Amino acid sequence: MEQISRRDVLKLATSQLALASLYPSYLLSKEVESNQDIVFLIPSVSDYKAFSTPFNKRIKTTPSLIAVCRNEAGVQKALKYAAYKRLPIAVKSGGHSFEGFSLNAHGIVVDVSLINEQKLVGDQFISGAGTKLFQLYDFLIPRGRIVPVGSCGTVGLSGLTLGGGYGMFSRRWGLTCDNLKGVRMVDGRGLIIDSKDDPELLWACRGGGNGNFGIITELRYQTHAAPQTLPRHRIKFRHLSTSDAVATCKKWFETTRTLPDDAFSAFVLNGNAITILITYFDQTSKGLVNSIADALSQGATSVSPLAQEKLSTAVTRYYGRKTPLHFKNVSAGFYKNFDDLVDGIHEIFDLVTSSVGTIFQINTLGGAIADQSKVKTAAYPHRMFGYLGELQSYWENDGATEDRIAKVNEIQRKLENIGITRHYRNYPSLELKNWQVAYFGTENYSRLQKCKQKYDPENLISHLQSISLP
Ligand SMILES: Cc1cc2nc3c(=O)[nH]c(=O)nc-3n(C[C@H](O)[C@H](O)[C@H](O)COP(=O)(O)OP(=O)(O)OC[C@H]3O[C@@H](n4cnc5c(N)ncnc54)[C@H](O)[C@@H]3O)c2cc1C
């Protein structure tokens, strides 16, 4: 870990001074004295904004105290202080939680974003908890290795993995959490735990670990030989009627059933336009993927020429926006096939096409994600579903917030009415009534509660949808 700089020392001194006025007892206690392991920030200090701003500008939580940790010792200190003051802890890494679960207003936010060292030991990738996806790609691809992660460059590796994690490589190598081989964690009691001493913790962190049991400081992954290229097809349809959009969706479901495992596809309905994306990375799949793309291109408005870029360039195309924006995104549920949507799809597509800025995206899962042997090894419980839907709504100004949320919620209720009740933990929604079962299933939820009891018996680490004590 690099040494603290002169500028950092100044920052620390400023925040300590400010902190002294707010928490006089804090500076008196030797146990929680600030040092090179940790920097405390309160709203009046200059660096506060950089660490308190979530990716979702809709979230207006103003933390009263942020502990920016530089290493595991810093995390332990933050935890000790929180326990001593009985402050609830929120854990923050990349800050992309849809509902702002990595912030709290009246407790302490433990920020691990500076713990972001990366190492490759043999074929194992060892990462600090603060690594962002673009840092993983930048580190691994030049070394000829890859871990199947998501696409957005600024998403945190911790949050992604602990809730599951899927992307363009997952049908070949599984979810990000399936490639997780070990974690280190400072638990709710302040103890350092390594999952090599407790397989149950590793099980829990594979899909059920977001802000629940402790603060993960290190994640260890199996890597794979990185492909050279990531070719893609992009097919666009414009000015569609609802019936045509539904017919295109039905065809997409039917056609993508035959995709090879190295291929990934996304169906994106945005207003009255549809974009279909197909990527693959194994040259032996070229013929099959081309024929699938040809079948899906019938009647398209435009078909982008197949891009044959090298992997390091191709992944950056999907990084998305870097800076925060307002949004309300939610899981639109898991599906086995088109039949799961058939009863409500006309009504739902009508609502999407008539709502400015609302997007309905469906991504392919399946392949290695569906491997039944992993049912037992991970808390992620949705392996029987080959597709995952996501509702997205983006806007620029606070004025639009209420209308946009109402529209997304209306569509989500329609989905619920047609029996879509299983949802992705990493696409949370506060409106979900039975979120425990929706994200984890009944059995896995009780098992996660036992883990909570073991590692955070005082429920210090919590957010609005964290695992409760049994
Ligand atoms: C623009 C965008 C694109 C996305 N793309 C994808 C995608 O391609 N694939 C996909 O699967 N998901 C995707 N997601 C969802 C993403 O996986 C989740 O939002 C994820 O939880 C974000 O993690 P984070 O670390 O950035 O966020 P944070 O807000 O920092 O954390 C999210 C949750 O994880 C917990 N957490 C974070 N770090 C730790 C830690 N060290 N120890 C314990 N708990 C921790 C937090 O407490 C919080 O509950 C995307 C989200 C956005 C906003």
pLDDT attached to residue 34: 61
- Parallel, antiparallel or unpaired: strands 89-92 and 108-111: parallel
Task: Find out whether 159 and 425 touch, Cβ atoms under 8 Å.
Answer: no
How many domains, the chain?
3
Q: Which tokens go with 354?
A: 């008539």
On whether both 289 and 145 belong to a single domain, the answer is no
Does ligand 1 lie within 6 Å of residue 167's CB atom?
Answer: yes
Does residue 249 share a domain with residue 346?
yes
Q: How far is the CA of 53 from the centre of ligand 1 (A)?
A: 14
Q: Clarify whether residues 69 and 133 are in a common domain.
A: no
The total of other beta-carbon atoms located within 10 Å of residue 243's CB is 10
274 and 389 assigned to the same domain: yes
Atom in ligand 1 nearest the alpha carbon of residue 98: 19
Residue 1 is predicted with a pLDDT of 31
* Residue ID of nearest Cα to ligand 1 atom 9: 150
Q: What CATH number should be reported for the domain holding residue 298? A: 3.40.462.20
CATH of the domain at 103: 3.30.43.10
Considering the domain boundaries, does residue 469 fall inside one? no
Query: What per-residue confidence (pLDDT) applies to 305?
Result: 79
> Does residue 37 sit in the same domain as residue 170?
no
Question: Is the same domain home to 92 and 132?
Answer: no
Three-state SS string across 353-396, please? Answer: HCCCCEEEEEEECCHHHHCHHHHCCCCCCCCCCCEEEEEEEEEC
Amino acid at 284: T
CATH of the domain at 195: 3.30.465.10
Give the domain range for residue 362. 232-428
Which pairs count as long-range contacts for 289-294, CB under 8 Å and 24+ apart, including other chains?
A: 289/231, 289/233, 289/259, 289/260, 289/263, 290/233, 292/255, 292/256, 292/258, 292/259, 292/263, 293/233, 293/235
Between the alpha carbon of residue 436 and those of residues 77, 158, 312, 446, the distances in Å are 31, 21, 38, 9
Residue whose CB lies within 8 A of the most ligand 1 atoms, among 133, 318, 426, for a mutation test: 426
Run means of pLDDT, 10 residues per run, the chain, 470 residues:
37 43 40 74 91 96 96 95 95 98 97 98 98 98 98 98 98 98 97 98 98 98 97 96 97 98 98 96 96 96 87 96 95 98 97 91 98 97 98 92 94 97 98 96 98 98 98
- pLDDT score, position 9: 37
pTM for this prediction: 0.94
Tell me the best of 52, 53, 71, 96 to mutate to test the pocket of ligand 1, counting ligand atoms within 8 Å of each CB and taking the most: 96
Same domain, 279 and 140: no
| Rounded-to-10 torsion of CA 443, 156, 171, 301 | 120
Are 458 and 88 spatial neighbours (Cβ–Cβ below 8 Å)? no
CB of 97 closer than 6 angstroms to any ligand 1 atom? yes
* Domain end (from 226, 241, 271): 226
For residue 468, tell me if it sits in a domain: no
Pairing of strands 145-146, 224-225: antiparallel
